[in-house]
A and B are shown apart, each in its own frame.
Chain A
Amino acid sequence: MSTLIFRTMAPPLAGLMLIVSIVVLLRGHNDPGGGFIGGLLAACAAAIHGMAFGVGRTRQVMRINPLAISGFGVLLAIASGLLSAFAGTSFLTGLWLPANIFGVPGLFDIGVYFTVAGTLAAIALALEDGGEGN
């Protein structure tokens, strides 16, 4: 699958997808998008990079184990919910910074993003790995 064209185009494409995924994540609260979709896009980016350069190289570029990213996402989501303990409200209450620029739901959505991206990237990379190994 790693033709010259694909290998040339893969890094900019993956980078672009990552940027778009973050844009999609952040605009999600008011326009179509959100953590889940953003996470899927980010996972696609990892999968494309892996197809072009091999899984070993992708893991090197990512630096962090994708499953660890996934776990971080869940922890972040839980932590965002626990913030309400400081406000004396119940778990996962939507708390907002002044002027409503950012709040618990946003933090929670970032957690969703990392979970989805990490899990699917981990699965895709593991599958690509086996395909090459055999």
Chain B
Amino acid sequence: MELSFDTFTLLVLMAPFAVALLAPTISRETGRAAGWILALVPAGLFVMLLSMIGDVAAGHPVSITVDWVPALGLRFSLLIDGLSLTFALLISGIGAFILVYSGDYLAGHPHRGRFFAFLLLFMGAMLSLVLADSLVALFVFWEMTSVTSFLLIGFDHTAEKSRRAAIQALIVTGIGGLALMAGGVLLYVVAGTWDISALAASPTLRQAGAAYPWVLGFILVAAFTKSAQVPFHFWLPNAMEAPTPVSAYLHSATMVQAGIYLLARLSPILAGTPQWQALLCTIGGATLLWGALIALKQTDLKQLLAHTTIASLGLLVMLLGIGGEAAAMAVATYFVAHALYKAALFLVTGSVDHATGSRDVTRLSGLRDSLTISFICTALAALSMFGVPPLLGYIAKEEIYAVVGLTDVWAVVVLTVIVVGNALLGTAALAVLIRPFMGNAMPADLPPREGGIALWIGPVAFGLLGLAVLFGISTYGDLVAAPMASAIMGYPVASHLTFAVDLTHLPVWLSLLTWVIAILAYMQLDRLRAALTGLERRFSWSFDKGFDQIMFGLIRIAGGWTRAFHHGRLELYLVVAVASLALVLLVPLWRLGGWPQVPDFRAGNFYEWGVIGLATIGVVTLVLARTRLGAIVALGIQGLAVALIFLVFGAPDLAFTQLLVETLSVVILALVMARLNLSANDPRPFEDWLRDGGLAIVVGGSACLLLLRVLEGTFDGRLSTFFAQNSVATAHGRNIVNVILVDFRGLDTLGEIAVVMTAGIAVLALLRRQHKRGPQTDSAKRAPRRKVAAV
């Protein structure tokens, strides 16, 4: 089979999934080199994707389509345009260094292979998410990133905190996944296509009226949960329980950006309305300020960085909310700058943790001499975050400040929020850089030592890339930023990225203002932290606690519900079931228009009366029986009479079956009785007798009346005629009943025998449980009584 370009590309993109299966073996066999070997996969993907950048930048998105489920009109289609290519390049590029780093970071860990496998699975899912052109595929991979994130957060599964954080992240992002599904289905209903590119080509949705607020709501919930926006942000700091490479990769550079990706991807269809602007600016702004402020409270480096990630995500949401070409360019630049410096900072934090055993900014100091490489990387990354001129972070900040002019009150408010947020982020950057690395060296027996090349090559690469962009800033703008902005806007946007300090421009002065505020805040950092901690103590409630309250509430409701409906009292179950049966019988009788006429009893033959007499004897004996065994046998007599009725009216198959079922019922009931050591008699209080007797009469009577009423109607013989005509002709069998069972309705029978087998397994399980506990305990007595009902 010759591989087409489409299939080939698709197979290459699936490589992370395939290699994930082999990862444990590779990790075991190759030892320290495993990270390097596995990193070849994302590195190869990176090169392949990079080769497409020229075409994409020239305005020719690569579109790949392979049929998936043709019957449902589902295709597996990929769209590689500026937006998805930028994401994919970062995912594969950063991913390669993360794998290298993890190899050393987890060296000697018993589950390192499993970790690699999870990481590669995530990588594959995330790549497919951003490249997918079909909403269905997008949703599937969206969920897959949530699941792999769950596995990675809970990687240290023996720690309770990790498990809680993992479950919390899964639940929050899972709610977003459900919202995404609802939003996607609505989009499909409105636009009639699953393909995102086709959706974008027909921007009629904003005029769709009633559907728009719903679609917007669902998509925003999806994006906000994934990208940790207030009030769903609390899962992200908890997710820092994961090993540091995971925090660097999933929870700063890639997975949490999926929400941003979704908003950017759907911008051409959804953006620009007042609701969009108001919601995104408000939520994004609140998240920016909240994250930046809480970050200053943290003393743990990872927690600090996690909160700055929340703030950066808020900033991106806010920019997308403002909309317009300038905002799109700002998003494109800031997204890349943030991914690079944040991944570097996280990785360095992991190295510092490795070398010193601590991540506490109040305890670390003076590491610049012993951890020189880490110090340089941190400096490059933190200065980019702070926004110092030659670095990419500065250019991104200038772009952001160029988005909003001082036109009206709202613009001023938005601008203030952005400046303050950026300034607080700058303070955090200073804290990350100065606290651990400057000052006096810590007293230690052995000076901390830098780790191997695997631990610092990633941060060095990211840091230098943030610097190197400077020399090709216009190329960068043409190849990366502008195509991404074009995809967000839905039409080509020209790049204007240059590196120039123009003092007549407002952004330069805003940058200056940001730095001043940041430095002032840094000088008061300890006071600020004390004040924030005090405030937190004042309010005993937090979002994290709120999550617990909701979860406990859910569990209590579920528990109450279960206790109300699953009470374990067999009599009550039977009463409810039988009473419902009576209702089901009586309602159609009433709908059919009242009572049937009294049939003509004189038509019966003597043997028919004889059989009816036999049945009556059985029933009367059953009711009057003094012992249980007597009642069981009487029930058998009555069943036998029913079998005879079937025989008399020409249904030998039914009669045969009925006869055998009755025989087995008597045997099994008798065995159950013997097994349960029930007393021979069954004395019952009168009110029970009255209740059960009354119910029995009502059910029996209404079944009888309904049957009589049905017989009064005309008989529709189409089915009977069909089976009579086709049984021999097409199914080669003269026994119509059997032909129906095994041929015409074979699938039904297959389901039924599966149920028979499952019921058998359940019965055996119940019996075995009783056997273990011994026959005397009360609960053991209850279990097989349920089974009697099943039989």
Q: A33 contacts which chain B residues (CB < 8 A)?
A: 653, 656, 735, 738
Q: A111 contacts which chain B residues (CB < 8 A)?
A: 753
Q: Is A128 touching B760 in the complex (CB atoms < 8 A)? A: no
Q: Which residue of A lies closest to B671 (CB)?
A: A127
Q: Is B753 touching A131 in the complex (CB atoms < 8 A)? A: no
Q: Is A123 touching B764 in the complex (CB atoms < 8 A)? A: yes
Q: In chain B, residues 662-708, which have Cβ atoms closer than 8 Å to a Cβ of chain A?
A: 663-664, 667-668, 671-672, 674-675, 677
Q: Is A96 touching B767 in the complex (CB atoms < 8 A)? A: no
Given contacts A36-B657, A105-B742, contact A74 B735 (CB under 8 A): no
Q: In chain A, residues 1-49, which have Cβ atoms closer than 8 Å to a Cβ of chain B?
A: 24, 28-37, 40-41, 43-44, 47
B661's contact among A35, A40, A124, A133, by CB below 8 Å, is which? A40
Give bound CA distance, A70 to B759, whole Å.
Answer: 11
Which of the segments B346-354, B382-390, B395-403, B726-734 contacts the partner chain?
B726-734
Give bound CA distance, A73 to B750, whole Å.
Answer: 10
Q: Is A92 touching B764 in the complex (CB atoms < 8 A)? A: no
Q: B753 contacts which chain A residues (CB < 8 A)?
A: 73-74, 77, 111-112, 115-116
Q: A36 contacts which chain B residues (CB < 8 A)?
A: 657, 741
Q: A123 contacts which chain B residues (CB < 8 A)?
A: 668, 760, 763-764, 791
B756-773 vs A: 1/0 string, CB under 8 Å? Answer: 110111011001101100
Give bound CA distance, A130 to B673, whole Å.
Answer: 11
Q: Is B671 touching A73 in the complex (CB atoms < 8 A)? A: no
Give bound CA distance, A17 to B715, whole Å.
Answer: 39
**B749 lies within 8 A of chain A by Cβ:** yes
Give bound CA distance, A20 to B296, whole Å.
Answer: 85
Q: Is B759 touching A119 in the complex (CB atoms < 8 A)? A: yes
Give bound CA distance, A81 to B742, whole Å.
Answer: 11
A94's contact among B743, B747, B759, by CB below 8 Å, is which? B743
Q: Is A29 touching B657 in the complex (CB atoms < 8 A)? A: no
Q: B738 contacts which chain A residues (CB < 8 A)?
A: 28-29, 33-34, 109
Give bound CA distance, A125 to B405, whole Å.
Answer: 85
Q: Is B749 touching A112 in the complex (CB atoms < 8 A)? A: yes
Q: Which residue of B lies closest to A128 (CB)?
A: B671
**B48 lies within 8 A of chain A by Cβ:** no
Q: Is A103 touching B764 in the complex (CB atoms < 8 A)? A: no
Q: B671 contacts which chain A residues (CB < 8 A)?
A: 124, 127-128, 131
A30's contact among B660, B733, B747, by CB below 8 Å, is which? B733
A119's contact among B674, B757, B771, by CB below 8 Å, is which? B757
The A interface is mostly helix, strand or loop, or mixed, namely helix
Closest Cβ–Cβ distance, residue A98 to chain B (whole Å): 12
Given contacts A32-B656, A33-B656, A37-B657, contact A130 B735 (CB under 8 A): no
Q: Is B767 touching A127 in the complex (CB atoms < 8 A)? A: yes
Q: Is B664 touching A43 in the complex (CB atoms < 8 A)? A: yes
Q: A44 contacts which chain B residues (CB < 8 A)?
A: 660, 663-664, 667
Q: Is A127 touching B732 in the complex (CB atoms < 8 A)? A: no
A71-95 vs B: 1/0 string, CB under 8 Å? Answer: 1011001100100000000011010
Q: Which residue of A lies closest to B744 (CB)?
A: A94
Residue in B656, B677, B763 whose Cβ sees the most chain A Cβ within 10 Å: B656
Q: Which residue of B lies closest to A72 (CB)?
A: B757
**B613 lies within 8 A of chain A by Cβ:** no
Q: B731 contacts which chain A residues (CB < 8 A)?
A: 94, 105
Q: B760 contacts which chain A residues (CB < 8 A)?
A: 67, 70, 118-120, 122-123
Give bound CA distance, A30 to B733, whole Å.
Answer: 5
Q: Is A40 touching B668 in the complex (CB atoms < 8 A)? A: no
Q: B767 contacts which chain A residues (CB < 8 A)?
A: 126-127, 130
Q: Is B764 touching A122 in the complex (CB atoms < 8 A)? A: yes
Q: A130 contacts which chain B residues (CB < 8 A)?
A: 675, 767, 770-771, 775
Q: A112 contacts which chain B residues (CB < 8 A)?
A: 741-742, 749, 753
Give bound CA distance, A126 to B674, whole Å.
Answer: 13
**A134 lies within 8 A of chain B by Cβ:** yes
Q: Is A124 touching B746 in the complex (CB atoms < 8 A)? A: no
**A100 lies within 8 A of chain B by Cβ:** yes
Given contacts A67-B764, A74-B753, A118-B760, contact A134 B746 (CB under 8 A): no
Closest Cβ–Cβ distance, residue A22 to chain B (whole Å): 15
Q: B754 contacts which chain A residues (CB < 8 A)?
A: 74
**B10 lies within 8 A of chain A by Cβ:** no
Given contacts A109-B738, A109-B742, A130-B771, contact A119 B756 (CB under 8 A): yes
Q: Is B746 touching A34 in the complex (CB atoms < 8 A)? A: no
Give bound CA distance, A120 to B754, whole Å.
Answer: 13
B323-364 vs A: 1/0 string, CB under 8 Å? Answer: 000000000000000000000000000000000000000000
**B739 lies within 8 A of chain A by Cβ:** yes
Give bound CA distance, A12 to B657, whole Å.
Answer: 23
Q: Which residue of A lies closest to B655 (CB)?
A: A32
Q: Is A127 touching B675 in the complex (CB atoms < 8 A)? A: yes
Q: Is B764 touching A29 in the complex (CB atoms < 8 A)? A: no
Q: B759 contacts which chain A residues (CB < 8 A)?
A: 119
Q: Is A30 touching B735 in the complex (CB atoms < 8 A)? A: yes
Given contacts A32-B653, A40-B664, contact A115 B756 (CB under 8 A): yes
Q: Is A115 touching B757 in the complex (CB atoms < 8 A)? A: yes
Q: Is A133 touching B660 in the complex (CB atoms < 8 A)? A: no
Q: In chain B, residues 162-189, which have Cβ atoms closer than 8 Å to a Cβ of chain A?
A: none
Closest Cβ–Cβ distance, residue B743 to chain A (whole Å): 4
Give bound CA distance, A128 to B759, whole Å.
Answer: 18
Q: Is B756 touching A96 in the complex (CB atoms < 8 A)? A: no
Closest Cβ–Cβ distance, residue A56 to chain B (whole Å): 15
Given contacts A37-B657, A109-B738, contact A47 B733 (CB under 8 A): no
Closest Cβ–Cβ distance, residue A10 to chain B (whole Å): 14
Give bound CA distance, A133 to B663, whole Å.
Answer: 24
Given contacts A37-B657, A41-B660, A44-B660, contact A30 B743 (CB under 8 A): no
Q: B746 contacts which chain A residues (CB < 8 A)?
A: 81, 92, 94, 105, 108
Given contacts A74-B753, A105-B746, contact A131 B675 (CB under 8 A): yes
A105's contact among B677, B739, B747, B768, by CB below 8 Å, is which? B739
Closest Cβ–Cβ distance, residue A19 to chain B (whole Å): 16
Closest Cβ–Cβ distance, residue A11 to chain B (whole Å): 18
Residue in B663, B734, B741, B775 whose Cβ sees the most chain A Cβ within 10 Å: B741
Closest Cβ–Cβ distance, residue A68 to chain B (whole Å): 11
Q: Is B657 touching A40 in the complex (CB atoms < 8 A)? A: yes
Given contacts A41-B660, A47-B667, contact A126 B739 (CB under 8 A): no
Q: Is B672 touching A37 in the complex (CB atoms < 8 A)? A: no
Since A29-B742, A112-B741 are in contact, a sample of 13 more A-B pairs with Cβ atoms closer than 8 Å, ordered by chain A residue number, is A33-B656, A34-B741, A74-B754, A77-B750, A92-B750, A108-B743, A119-B756, A119-B759, A123-B791, A124-B671, A128-B671, A130-B675, A130-B775
The 5 closest A-B pairs by CB, nearest first: A119-B760, A127-B671, A40-B660, A32-B652, A29-B733
28 A-B pairs (CB sep. < 8 Å): A29-B738, A31-B734, A32-B653, A34-B653, A35-B742, A37-B656, A37-B657, A37-B660, A44-B667, A67-B764, A70-B756, A74-B750, A74-B754, A77-B753, A81-B750, A94-B743, A103-B732, A105-B731, A105-B743, A108-B746, A111-B753, A115-B757, A119-B756, A119-B760, A122-B760, A122-B763, A126-B764, A134-B675
Mark A residues whose CB is within 8 Å of B: 24, 28-37, 40-41, 43-44, 47, 67, 70-71, 73-74, 77-78, 81, 91-92, 94, 96, 100, 103, 105-106, 108-109, 111-112, 115-116, 118-120, 122-124, 126-128, 130-131, 133-134
Mark B residues whose CB is within 8 Å of A: 652-653, 656-657, 660-661, 663-664, 667-668, 671-672, 674-675, 677, 730-735, 737-739, 741-743, 746-747, 749-750, 753-754, 756-757, 759-761, 763-764, 767-768, 770-771, 775, 791
